[in-house]
Amino acid sequence: MHIDILSLFPKMLEGFFTNSIMARAVEKGVVSYRITDWRSYATDRHHSCDDVPYGGGAGMVLKCEPLSKALEDLDARNRRVVFPTPSGRLFTQAYAQELSREKDLIFICGHYEGLDQRVIDTYVDDEISIGDYVLSCGETSTTVIIDALFRLIDGVISSDSLQDESFSDGLLEYPQYTRPESYCTKSVPDVLLSGHHERIATWRDFRMLEKTMLSRPEVLVRASLDQDRRRRLIELIERTKG
């Protein structure tokens, strides 16, 4: 996958692409990226990219130009363009999966009060919100979205790691433990040391249901639960009551 990012603060993004799993994906050639500082397209003396809003109000709005010139140079009309914004469609694991199947994406990192609507209307395909809160800059939400999608591309991480994690089958993940067996008077649950795969799987399923029920009950309502899980859930509810 190739990713183009348009940003006024490119240094905020560099560390993300040059560390950890993303750095390895870039090295392997699974992901390529280019960060463009669109201020370089501004032709006025102050290289300004924003201006006051028509109709009044607080803050500044990112102007049509120079951003549109940068987008034209990237052939954005023929590519999928993502604009992270608090007023976009809510980002989910399913949305990340859909984007991970693309070969080519452009991200626009917004700032201030947002973008002139005409740029959005002309170039943007996806306006995405990463949650019901407002961040100071689009670089943060852009890296969140890219992080969620690039790890789903074949060859980035093992398919085993993807299989058991939160949301992959509609529930939150079970708790994990590693060595040592005893830490600050707390021990690893006996079942995980038993070597009994079926009992471990049942224990993990109970913990997933319990975690989802306590932290995100609305996720549980949407999840498809087979008969075993429904029985386990009833058992858990009975235990919490008692």
CB of 80 to ligand ADE, least distance (A): 17
Residue 192, annotated ligand binder?
A: no
Residue 33, annotated ligand binder?
A: no
Site string (37-76) toward ligand ADE, x via CB under 6 A: ----------------------------------------
**By CB under 6 A, what part of segment 125-184 binds ligand ADE?**
129-131, 133-135, 138, 141
Count the residues of the shown chain that bind ligand ADE, applying the rule CB under 6 A. 11
Residue 56, annotated ligand binder?
A: no
- Cα–Cα separations (whole angstroms), residue 45 to 39, 41, 49, 50, 68: 12, 12, 11, 14, 19
Contact call for residues 77 and 123 (beta carbons, < 8 A): yes
CB of 12 to ligand ADE, least distance (A): 13
Residue 54, annotated ligand binder?
A: no
Residue 131, annotated ligand binder?
A: yes
Residue 188, annotated ligand binder?
A: no
86 near ligand ADE, rule: CB under 6 A: yes
Residue 225 has, within 13 A of its CA and on its CB side, a CA count of: 20
- Tell me the helices (H) and strands (E) count for the chain, helix number first: 10, 9
- CB count within 10 Å of CB 8 equals 21
The two beta strands, 186-187 and 182-183, are antiparallel
Contact call for residues 89 and 37 (beta carbons, < 8 A): no
120 near ligand ADE, rule: CB under 6 A: no
CB of 62 to ligand ADE, least distance (A): 12
CB of 54 to ligand ADE, least distance (A): 21
Q: Find tokens 């093992």 and name the residue.
A: 158
- Give the residue with the Cβ less far from ligand ADE, 141 or 212: 141
CB of 114 to ligand ADE, least distance (A): 9
> C-alpha angle 229/232/238, rounded to 5°?
140
Question: Alpha helices, DSSP H only, in the chain?
Answer: 11-17, 20-28, 64-73, 93-100, 117-123, 138-150, 159-163, 197-215, 217-222, 227-241
Residue nearest to ligand ADE (CB): 141
Which residues would be at the binding site for ligand ADE (CB under 6 A)?
Answer: 84-86, 129-131, 133-135, 138, 141
Binding residues for S-adenosyl-L-methionine are: 110, 130-135
